[in-house]
Structure 1
């Protein structure tokens, strides 16, 4: 059982015996473990050199086991670290292999999911294994995974995966849908709305996408394409970003309701002008000269704008101003 930690079967028997008896000499090993004197001597020397046992009575040559959590625990940790490194290396090599294979065979870029069961299983699997970001086009009349049944999203949000979801406005009018979207937004989902979407779409970690192939009414089993890498995936991400830029943010009111529209801008005209200079990349010193105020005053005003905007940094301030379209 301990071979993975470097102990052969005889060494394991000796170590277990010493753990049980507290201490023993070579005669005890020969008599209790049915091994010869030469084997016992060789094993004791090897185990002492490796720190598995220690001498407790040098004159009588009695030995005791070193505590397992000390000697074997450290080996187990190093073993685990080596396994983790090997696992990451295998994943890297596997991805490199798949990338090279796809370049040689375009058919590997797209896999067809033939039915509702396969499509739903794939959507669950992709979200369960998402590491960074999930992008969604969420249309009405879902046939595979209604939004209220997407249990994988809350779990992914809680472990830090970003979700950006664009909803069709007709979908938001379906019973219970607004409460469902509001729940996701409270967990951290970034949600926006548009009048209509061209397709259903899911993109995970910018590495793989799911795109329905047939959306005609009357088709009993939906089919979808699983797209891995390549220019087709880049085109799908560009399609998402183009709709995201035009979509209207969905937010939660103080009363907890879902509402559509921009967050009211908390900045006055002077602060907005200062913000426009910041976003344009004008240095603080140049802003101070242009406004006729001191550089420290500029920094204080910027800090106040950051606070009013609910941001933590200037970068977050610029992002908030862009997404809320304050400028």
Structure 2
């Protein structure tokens, strides 16, 4: 934490933590305690002295003592806070310059081309990490990055993250049911679509990346970076349209509305079944048997008082069993 937040190296942080745990210590004693070379430790102590985190003992200048953390680290923290404020001001200034340039773009400048699969992956990751309000994602095979389902770092900052998975992601094992459960547990909203027209990342409704990746010719892979324009508006409208049609997804019985006698496994089977997965594929995703899946589907049909799976799907929609996600509510 000290190395991440206050700019100390891992070695400096470790030695400072060791030093504050003792009244005083010589470089040799510290080197033995942390298991490092004494000469390197002397250099590190010099760095800590320069930062005001360590000082020589008045009674014995060969020994070192730690400066009080409340005073020494607070000064470093204030320095970092000031640096962050200056960085924010610089960012705002650069953003204003960028927006002014964007307004002057012609029709031909609305779309930029990104070349190379690795560059696309890096740009997608940067876009997601830099999001302020919302990320919208069409995820389909072939997978271009681990960013199809976020790790929660973006959502933890209050960013809404909506992803529509093409069913083939589940069919081909590119995404597992466990990954969906984990993503939803972080607050991600996930829906499933039969097919998706393209891969897409939209960030803050300000720009989008349309990856154009395939395995046929890796040298020609790339993406389109779309700036604010009527084209971006069309991509946003496309996402919202697909979002409204995509199958909502629940992972626990608590998310199934207006129904009783439904267990978590029932809810999971119901969600996967409505996406169009076969019973065998559902069994594989949930690590259960085909017989169990078929038996639980029959149980759901009995609860819904229907005779066929088509009727079950209609009844699920009519009764609003999967309405829990409509407003972004998450139960995982």
TM-score of the two chains, using structure 1 as the length reference: 0.51
Q: CA deviation at 1:227?
A: 2.0
On the 8 A contact 1:111/1:227 being kept in 2, the answer is yes
Task: Provide the alpha-carbon RMSD of the alignment.
Answer: 3.9
On the 8 A contact 2:120/2:211 being kept in 1, the answer is no
Which residue pairs with 1:100 in the alignment? 100
Matched, 1:179 2:172: no
Which residue pairs with 1:156 in the alignment? 154
- 1:126, 1:321 → 2: CA distance? 26
- 2:152, 2:82 → 1: CA distance? 33
- 1:72, 1:192 → 2: CA distance? 46
- 2:228, 2:164 → 1: CA distance? 22
Matched, 1:168 2:158: no
Q: CA deviation at 1:157?
A: 3.1
- 1:195, 1:117 → 2: CA distance? 28
- 1:208, 1:126 → 2: CA distance? 9
Q: CA deviation at 1:201?
A: 0.2
On the 8 A contact 2:210/2:224 being kept in 1, the answer is yes
Matches within 5 A, 1:127-276: 127-142=128-143, 144-145=144-145, 152-175=150-173, 177-213=176-212, 218-221=216-219, 222-254=221-253, 255=264, 257=268, 259-260=271-272
On the 8 A contact 1:127/1:153 being kept in 2, the answer is no
**Deviations 1:95-150 (CA, angstroms, capped at 9, x unpaired):** 111111122233554332111111111122222222322111011332x22x5x75
- 2:74, 2:168 → 1: CA distance? 59
Q: CA deviation at 1:80?
A: 5.7
Which residue pairs with 2:90 in the alignment? 90
- 2:185, 2:128 → 1: CA distance? 19
Distance 1:173 1:84, change over 3 A: same
On the 8 A contact 2:137/2:148 being kept in 1, the answer is no
Q: CA deviation at 1:251?
A: 1.2
Q: CA deviation at 1:173?
A: 1.9
TM-score of the two chains, using structure 2 as the length reference: 0.51
On the 8 A contact 1:203/1:210 being kept in 2, the answer is yes
| SS of residue matched to 2:191 | strand
| SS of residue matched to 1:236 | helix
Which residue pairs with 1:118 in the alignment? 119
Distance 1:105 1:247, change over 3 A: same
- 1:68, 1:168 → 2: CA distance? 52
- 1:80, 1:323 → 2: CA distance? 36
- 2:158, 2:149 → 1: CA distance? 15
